[in-house]
Each structure stands twice: as C-alpha cells, then as structure tokens.
Structure 1
Amino acid sequence: MTPGRVLLTLLGTLLVGTLMAPTAASAAPPDLTVNAPARVYAGTVAIVTGTTSAPTDAVSLDYRGRGGVWSVVTTALPAADGSYALRIGLDPGTHRLRVVQATGGGTAVRELTIVAGAAPSRASLSGATRVADGKTATLQVRWVTTDGRPVTGSAQLWGRRRSSTTWERRGTFAVRSGVAAVRVRPRVDVSYQVRTPSTPYVRATASGLWTVDNVPPGYVFRRPSGAPAPRIKLPAQPRAKKAGADVTINKISARVWRSMKRRSWHRGCPVGRSSLRLVRTNYFAYDGYRRRGEIVVNKSVAKATRRVFRDLYAAKAPIRSLYRVDRFGWSRRLRGGDDMKSMAAGNSSGFNCRGVVGRPRTRSPHSTGRSIDINTWENPYRSGWGIVPNREWDRRRSPARVVYRSSSHLVVRIMARHGFWWMGSSDWQHFQYRGRGARTLPPPATFLD
C-alpha cells in the first residue's frame, strides 16, 4: 500500500469514529417525570410537578384546546436538582395537558388529564335572635368552599314557622365574596335556612337553621291570681299590617249594614245608616301584638274617634278586642245588640241601638253612636241588674294599664282630650262624647250604659 492510500485510510477511520462517538450534550431525550392530581376543584390552580435529567433546559406546560391544537400555558427552568413545578388555573371540565422539554438530544413529552369539578361548600346564618313584631332584623350570611374560598353567587332564603314543617321561599339574594346581609320581618317565630344552588364551581348546600323569635312590641296582660277571666272567649283579631294606628273612616258598606240590621240597628233607632261611620284602627291587644279592629260611631264624632285611637295607639294602651257589637247577635232583653255578651267577652264597642243595661226601656246613649265602652270586663258597670259583667274586677285596681279608676289615668285623659267624658265609678268602661259638635244630650248623671 502506498503512503498516500495509508493516509486516506487513517483519515476515514478517524471521521467515522468522530461521528459515532457521544457528544458533550446528551444524545438522547431527557429523562422526564410528571406528577399531577387527577382531580381538582374548578377555579383553583393545579400544580404539575416532576423531575428532569436536563436541568439546564426549560420545561413547558401545554394545553390542548379545540381542534386538538396545543398551546403553551407556562414555562419554567428546573432547579439544579432537576425538579420543577408548573401551575395552571382550570375552569370546570376535563382538561388534556402535556409537559414538554426539548434538548439537544431530543424532545420529551408527557401527556396527562386533569378533571376540574365543583367544590363542596358550606353556608351559615347568624344575627338577630329576637325581633319585635313589625320591626325588621338583619341576618348575616356566609358562603365559602370547604377549602375556605369565598363564593360569589345567588342564594335563597327559606323559612318555616316554628310549629310547622312546611318551608316557604322568602326570596333570592346575592352573595358577594362570601358574605351577604338579609333583612327579615317575621310576624311569628320563624326558623330560617339559606340554600345555595349547584353550579359548575360549587356544589349545592344548605345552612343550619337560625330561629328568630317574634316578640310582642306592647304590654302583655297577665291576669292576676284569683281574678276571673272573661266568660266568652273571642278569637284574636288579625295582626296589623301597616305601620302606626292607620285609622280609617268609611261610610257603612252594604255588607256591614246587613250585619248591623236587626242587631245593633233596627227600625225606630234615632240614627240611620247615613249618620254612622265605620272606624277601623290598629291597636295593641292584651297579648302585646298590634291588631286591627273596628268600631261604629256617629259621623259627627268620627274624627274625634280617629284622634282618640291614634293617641291610644301611640301610648300603647292595651285593648282586649275591638269587634262590632253585631258579632254577639240580637238581645231581646236589651232590644238591640247583645251588650251583655260583648261585656262578658271584654269587648270594646261603640254604636248599639238598645236599651240601658238594667233599664231596657230607657234608650242607651250608645243608640246615637256617641258613646264608647273600653275594656268592659276589667271595668264593670253598676247597672240596675247589679254590677256587670262581673263583681270581682270592680274591686280591683290593677293592672293599672287596663283598669280605669282615676280621672288621671292615661286612657281617661286621652279620651277627655278629644271630648269624651268618663262616667267614673258608676260606669268604669263608659266614655260619652261632649266635645265640639255634640248635640244637646241628657245631663251626665243620666248617662247610663
């Protein structure tokens, strides 16, 4: 072999050896590992971790979108030991991801799937536990996921009466950043509950029960030991709906007139339908609650009566009930509405075309509609038939809020302020109008109920 051929052979061997020898960079793709949760809560950040044998090259996290197109979400340079961490926020659904690392020796790809689902949540109620009837109370609402993230969304307030098992939806409200304030106005004791719907981000939940006691805003009458209760028990009148006394004056409707005829009114009465007015008012009942009653009076004293009940309401003066006397039917004995039954129920009333109790052939001043009897059970009348409706209360002087034994009593002073004269010890319950516009009436000494 010539020297020239020997030289060519050596150069070829060296070139092949050089091509086949490993380079300084890796000649193969990096060794890449991936760790990721299979499920996370929607709206949170998923963390993908792992290691690589090529810590000098960046690692990327790609997201597979519509049409299978991959896009880079984030990149990171591994630590010196080859560890890395990549973060991605995930909306609800199933997500295809991949971790990619490209090096001089090749590209490593690791695909993974993460499902982002609704997180469990919890709702709670707190706030007022007692509220006076007619007033409002504020309840505080808190709604968070079980991992402590505040929730923004729509929620519902439900309520049920304490003695009931029936739930009623009271309204829908917005919760922002996990909190809300809800105003309630319960008319009875109510247990409340917040219910939240299921969304792609949170699961439905319901709070525990929060009970708000409805308490009477007025004086609560408690019968003294040994004192008799009314012989006739009446149902409580409807709760007042509007604020204040809300006193209205109306002409006698056809419906009311039908109930009055042959009860509190009959042929021969000194006044007719056109001379009478129906006064409706809110009042504080013996149970302390605001209720709504009605009374018929002469139109000439209707405005004075309205002023009376406004002041009685403002003073929270207790009234047992305020039914029209027609409720008790006709009394042949009194030749009019049955005032004996009305008194036996402790009812307060006005117009009643009848005879005087104890002297039924003498026409009562109630026949003109200018007299009002208030709290008749606790304030008896000394009649020709004896003390009615009971003797026991005639001797009592308390509770002072409901018994009238002095001209300085608040109720007596309110009545007098608006022209209604009090009979005093002869008839604790009776108030006779003597103010402006009153017609000539018999002397006060003959104002027998």
Structure 2
Amino acid sequence: MKAARALTLLVTVLVGALVGSLLGAAPASAAPPQLTVSAPASAYAGTTATIRGTTSRLDGEILLERGRNDGAWERLAATRPASDGSYAVGVSVVPGAQRLRVRHVTVEGTAVRELGLTGTAAPSRLALSGPARLTDGRTATLTARWTTGDGRAVTGTAALWGRRSGESAWTPRGSVAVRAGSGKVRVKPRVDVAYQLRTARTAYVLAGTSATHVVDNVPPGRVFVRPPGAASPRIRLPRQPRARKAGAHVSVSRISNAVWRSMKGRTWHRGCPVGRSSLRILRTNYYAYDGYRRRGEIVIHARVAKATKRVFRDLHAAKAPIRSLYRVDRFGWSRRLRGGNDMKSMAAGNSSGFNCRSVVGRPGRRSPHSTGRSIDLNTWENPYRSAWGLVPNRDWDSRRSPAAFVYRSRNHAVVRILARHGFRWLGSADWQHFQYSGRGARHLPAPKTFWD
C-alpha cells in the first residue's frame, strides 16, 4: 500500500514538473509592430505628397487610408517594408484638410498611426508675350503662359485686360483658353495698348496677374514731318475717324436729308447751277498726315462720281497722304465768297469738292466748284495764286518737300493719278486744283472759268 501511494505521488510530481516546464517555455501574448510615420502638414493641391516611416517588423502589409465624411476609411495605397524596416507611400493631395492613417497589418497584430494633411492652392505664374510693334489694321497673336509656382503647367481660362496709352483704367479685352500651360489670343489694337493676363483663384491655384506687355501701334502710311520754319495751318481740325474696313472702301450715295440741311445756306443756295438730285456724297478711306488710315467725305457731281471713285481708290493704293476730307459746309457761310467758307477750309489744309461760291479773289465770278466737277487737295501745302494773292499762305508756294505732300510737277504721282481719270491740273497758278474734263464732261454744267 505504501509503495503504491509513493508511486502515485512520484507520477504526480513528474507530471506537474513536465507541465510546468511546458508552460514556462510558451511565448508571451502577441504584440503589434512598432510603427513611426512622418509627412508634411500641407502640400500644394494636385501634387503627390510622400508619407514615410519605419516599422519593427518586416512582414505584413502597410496600408495608407483616407477618412471619409461618413466615418469610414478609404484605401488609397499599399506597400511593404524595405529590408531595413523603412517604407514610403505617395498620396495625391486634394484641396482642403484631410485625415489620413497608416496601418501595418501583421500576423501578430496591427499598428495604426493617424495624421492630417492640408491641400493648399499654389501661386500662379503668368506671362504674356508677342510683338512689341504692330502696323495699324493688322492682327497680332499674343501667347499666354500659365504655370504654378513650382513649375507645373495649368489648364484653365485667363482673362485678357487692356489699357490704352495715356489712360489709367484697365478694361476687359476677352479671354484666353490655356491648355497644359499655353494659350494664344489674337488682338487688333488701333492705338498703343498695354495688355495683362489675370486669373481668379481656384482650389488649386491662387489668383495671378502677368507683367504688362505693350503693343506699339504704328501707322501704315507716311507721317508728315513739317520742315523747320514751315508755316502750320491757322485752323486745326479734329482728326477724322479711323478707317475700319480694308482698302479704300469708296462708297457713293445720294445726299441724305441730314447732309442736305447742313449744305443749304452754306455750300448750296438758290441760284446754284446744280441741285440736290445732281449731287452725290463720296465717302472713302485715305492715308492721313499722321500716317493712319482715316475716313472722310467729299461732295461731287453725279456724272463725276465714277471717275472720282477711281481717283480715291488709286490714291489709297498709292498711300498718297491727305490732310483731311471734310465737307466745306463745316466751315459755314462766307459773305465774301457767297458760298461755303473756302478760305477757312484752305486755312485748315482741308481737301474738298462741291461748293457753290465765287472764285477766290474774283467776287461775282462763279467757281467751277459750283458745278461739282472740281477737287482741291492738300490746300495748305499747295497754295492758290489768286487775285487776292497766294492763299491760304505764301510760305509753301516755293517749297518742294516733303515731296509726297506737295504737288509741283505733272510727274507727281498724285497729279498723274488724277490725270489718268480725266482731271486736269492747273499747275503753278493753282497747285491744289483739279478739274474734271474727261469722258462725259460736256454733259456737265459748263464752268464760266477755270479759276478756283
């Protein structure tokens, strides 16, 4: 009995020792990996930010997740640790604040680290380039460049603003569609204009303004340069409107009621050899003394209209300069001339046509301008040797330059153009005067004199 109890006790002790041994060798409870994480607090929206860190375990998967508004987490990317326990994962930065977390999932546990990242708008860099000089009437192409401060190309719409030379106010001039950082816009300035690109702020880029790009508008024709000491017109006229259509764009029409009201009592009155129905108003583009194409008008006889139209078409093609083309009724009535005040018209250097008046210097003798068959061109630089003396000035009678503006020879381009279309020139007796004597002239009222 004693032996049996001793055996039982020994077995119990051995079993207990064995169990204790086994229990002592068992591992501790599972522990998650040790995880670190680093990331910028903010980055430009639209870029990729890099999340970096280390982990104590080399197994398992590292997940990058973003918190949603409903509280759930959206998986963005996954990677595995490198051999040294480091990791890096990229995230596309969206505008505004966002919650992110990194999870390292292993068989022995999961480590989690949360962080915040704010997507900010990048500064805009805008540039505008193109020609610095542009001949009036032509079109220029400006190139827009739009990038972020860190050099990324931007796609969007930029506003084009302009400011005329001598003015302080900027005005909108259209928009530019920019694709992948580049866009083009066509402009047709009629004066010197400074241009700017402007963009509004978006979630991805800040508002921006480019440096100013100035386009210098230059005239297409000759610019009159007054010789030193030469006399200037005594009357200054406002410049006529700029031409808007190409070429001479000559039009001939009947006298409107408004024009006729202006002519009556000035360039037309009772007793004139022609009436309203026999007259036409011709409007044409011409090259003015400032070199720009402008638009003026002249009244002529209906039977001379076709020839006059050809004259101004050819003068425009030759870029022959004309100081101005105003109707003489603008200058009012002259008691001395019994018609439109041609003395004032000449004192302004104006070119004109029909004017029912007396010959300058010969009161009572009707001028051929009364029939609408005569044209006076550039009257200040091309004086008339009248019975009252040289009008409108004596100074220019002896001058021969600038050659484009004064007529002193039958070989002059302007004299030849008018002669080609039936207009005779009186020469030194009247440098400015051209009178139609071409085809059909016999059907016109006969002038009583050739004198102006």
TM-score normalised to the size of structure 2? 0.95
Partner of 2:358: 355
Q: Deviations over 1:348-390 (max 9, x none)?
A: 0000000111112111110010100000111111111111111
Select 1:434's aligned residue among 433, 437, 440: 437
| Cα shift at 1:443 | 9.1
Per-residue deviation at 1:4? 2.5
C-alpha separation in 2, matches of 1:275 and 1:198:
65
Specify which of 15, 30, 33 is matched with residue 8 of structure 1: 15
Q: Match for residue 56 of structure 1?
A: 59
Question: Structure 1 residues 445, 258: closer, same or farther in 2, change over 3 A?
Answer: closer
Q: Aligned partners of 1:98 and 1:63: how far apart in 2? A: 6
1:255 corresponds to which letter in structure 2?
A
Inter-CA distance 336–444: structure 2 relative to 1 (3 Å threshold): closer
For 2:40 and 2:445, the matched residues in 1 are separated by: 98
- Measure how far apart 1:125 and its partner are: 1.2
- TM-superposed CA distance for 1:15, in Å, is 3.1
User: Which residue number in structure 2 is paired with residue 37 of structure 1?
Assistant: 40
- The match for 2:283 is 280
Task: Give 1:12-161 correspondences, 5 Å limit.
Answer: 12-19=19-26, 21-22=27-28, 27-161=30-164
Partner Cα distance (1:440, 1:44) in 2: 84
Separation in structure 2 between the aligned mates of residue 442 and residue 156 of structure 1, nearest angstrom = 61
Q: How far is 1:202 from its partner?
A: 0.5
Superposed counterparts of 1:159-238, under 5 Å = 159-238=162-241
Whole-angstrom CA distance in 1 between matches of 2:329 and 2:34: 99
Alpha-carbon distance in 2 for matches of 1:11, 1:85: 48
CA distance in 1, matches of 2:442, 2:213: 59
Q: Distance in 2 between matches of 1:54 and 1:310?
A: 91
SS at match of 1:274: helix
Alignment deviations for residues 393-421 of structure 1 (CA, whole Å, 9 cap, x no partner)? 11111111011111111001111111111
Distance in structure 2 (CA, Å) of the matches to 1:39 and 1:82: 26
Question: In 1, distance between residues paired with 2:36 and 2:219?
Answer: 71
Give the counterpart of 2:388 among 385, 406, 416: 385
Amino acid at match of 2:99: R
**Cα shift at 1:185:** 1.1
TM-aligned CA deviation for residue 347 of structure 1: 0.4
Question: How far is the alpha carbon of 1:73 from its aligned partner?
Answer: 1.4
Distance 2:276 2:435 in 1: 21
Runs of 4+ in 1 over 4 A off after TM superposition: 440-445
Q: Are the aligned partners of 2:384 and 2:391 in contact in 1 as well (CA < 8 Å)? A: yes
Question: What residue in structure 2 maps to residue 252 of structure 1?
Answer: 255
Matches within 5 A, 1:380-419: 380-419=383-422
**Are the equivalent residues in 1 in contact too, given 2:368–2:448 (CA < 8 A)?**
no
User: Does 1:365 pair with 2:368?
Assistant: yes
Q: Determine helix, strand or coil for the equivalent of 1:367.
A: helix
Residue aligned with 2:173, SS: strand
Q: Give 1:71 shift.
A: 2.6
CA offsets, 1:108-164, max 9 Å, x none? 000111111211111011221111111112222111100000100001000011211
Q: Give 3-state SS (helix, strand or coil) of 1:37's partner.
A: coil
Alignment partners' CA distance in 2, 1:413 and 1:442? 25
Shift of 1:240: 1.2
Q: Distance in 1 between matches of 2:446 and 2:121?
A: 85
Distance in 1, matches of 2:215 and 2:333, equals 44
Aligned to 2:3: none
| CA distance in structure 2 between the aligned counterparts of 1:280 and 1:68, rounded to whole angstroms | 77
Q: Distance in 2 between matches of 1:7 and 1:71?
A: 56
Offset of residue 12 of structure 1: 2.0
Q: Greater shift after overlay, 131-140 or 43-52?
A: 131-140
Which range moved further: 437-446 or 123-132? 437-446
Q: 2:356–2:371: 8 Å Cα contact kept in structure 1?
A: yes
Code of the aligned partner of 1:364: S
Matches of residues 286-305 of structure 1 in structure 2 within 5 Å?
Answer: 286-305=289-308
Shift of 1:67: 1.5
Q: Does the aligned pair in 1 maintain the 2:368–2:449 contact within 8 Å?
A: no
CA distance in structure 1 between the partners assigned to 2:209 and 2:24 by the alignment? 75
Question: Where does structure 1 lack aligned partners over 5 or more consecutive residues?
Answer: none
350-359 or 76-85, which deviates more: 76-85
- Distance, in Å, in 2 between the alignment partners of 1:223 and 1:304 is 32
Which residue of 236, 260, 272 corresponds with 1:269? Answer: 272
Determine the C-alpha separation between the residues in 1 that align with 2:152 and 2:105: 37
- Quick one: distance in 2 between partners of 1:31 and 1:400? 95
Which amino acid counterpart does residue 277 of structure 2 have in structure 1?
S
* In 2: Cα distance, 1:260 partner to 1:280 partner: 16
Paired AA for residue 297 in structure 1 = I
**TM-score normalized by the length of structure 1:** 0.96
Structure 1 residue 82, shift from structure 2 partner: 1.1
> What is the identity, as a one-letter code, of the residue corresponding to 1:130?
R
**Corresponding residue number in structure 2 for 1:331:** 334
Cα RMSD of the aligned pairs, angstroms, is 1.6
Figure out how many residues of one structure are paired with residues of the other and give that number.
445
Cα shift at 1:55: 2.4
